[in-house]
Every structure is written in C-alpha cells, then in structure tokens.
Amino acid sequence: MRTNGVVVTAAAALAFCLASACAHPRSGRVGANPDLITEDDIARIQAHTAYDAVKRIHPNFLTRRGQTSLLGTSNPDPNVYLDDVFIGSVSELKGIQASVVASIRVYPAGQTALRFGSGNMGGVIEVYTKH
C-alpha cells in the first residue's frame, strides 16, 4: 500500500515528464527548425559563409533532388535567391558572408512555383540579409 507522499511524488514526476514531452525537443538547439537557419544559429557555429552555415546546420538543403522531369531537362539542384532575387546555384552561397545573413530557408519544389515561379524543380534556398 502506498502513502499519499509517494502518490503525490509519482504524480508530480508524471506531470513533469508529460510537460517535457510536449515541449519542442529541439528548441534552443542549432537548427531547431528543419526548414530554417536563423541568425542565432549561424552565430552559434561561427560560420564564415552562408554555404558553411548550411553545410554544418542543415546539409540536407544542399541535396540534389534527382531527376525532376520526365525528359530530364530541368535542374535537379536547388536555386538560390538572395533578398528575393535569383542569384544562381548553390555555389553562390560561398560568396555570401555569414555575418550579413539574417536567415536561410529551404523550400521544396512543390512550394516554389507560387512564390518564385517556374524553373525551380530542385527547390529553392532563400537567403535574407540584415538590412
């Protein structure tokens, strides 16, 4: 038979475990959002370029998507946009200093047409700088 003290302690422990499980498991960690790299994330890892930040925090952003059309005529690599302007391929990230980056977000191909237009079958990496 259990005493009230043990039951209360067990109930408190259960409540704590449930509260912890409901919290975002990656909050506060670098790369907590799978689609976004923040200025704080970049500062924590002390990246030198946007490419370094992506490669270290979310290397999956750089993944080639494979064949993206039946004819194989579209680019399977993500396109890069800087402050809403198309600048080219992933290699362009190497020329963007991490210290000027506010955020980096990836968009899969299915989400790019409305926001960026056609021609982004490999997805988009969008970089916003500090203004």
* Position 16 confidence tier, pLDDT thresholds 50, 70, 90: very low
Is 32 among the domain residues? yes
In a domain, 13, yes or no: no
Total number of domains constituting the chain: 1
- Structural domain for 95, as ranges: 28-129
Tell me if the pTM is above 0.75: no
Question: 6 lies in a domain?
Answer: no
Q: Is residue 8 part of a domain?
A: no
C-alpha 82/C-alpha 130 separation (Å) is: 11
Which CATH number characterizes residue 98's domain? 2.170.130.10
pLDDT digits (tens, 9 = 90+) for 47-100: 999 999 999 999 988 876 554 445 454 667 899 999 999 999 999 999 999 999
Query: What's the whole-number average pLDDT of the chain?
Result: 78
User: Which pLDDT score is estimated for 29?
Assistant: 67
Integer angstrom CA distances of residue 54 from 11, 70, 93, 114: 43, 29, 9, 24
State residue 76's pLDDT score: 77
CA angle 127, 130, 131 (to 5 degrees): 120
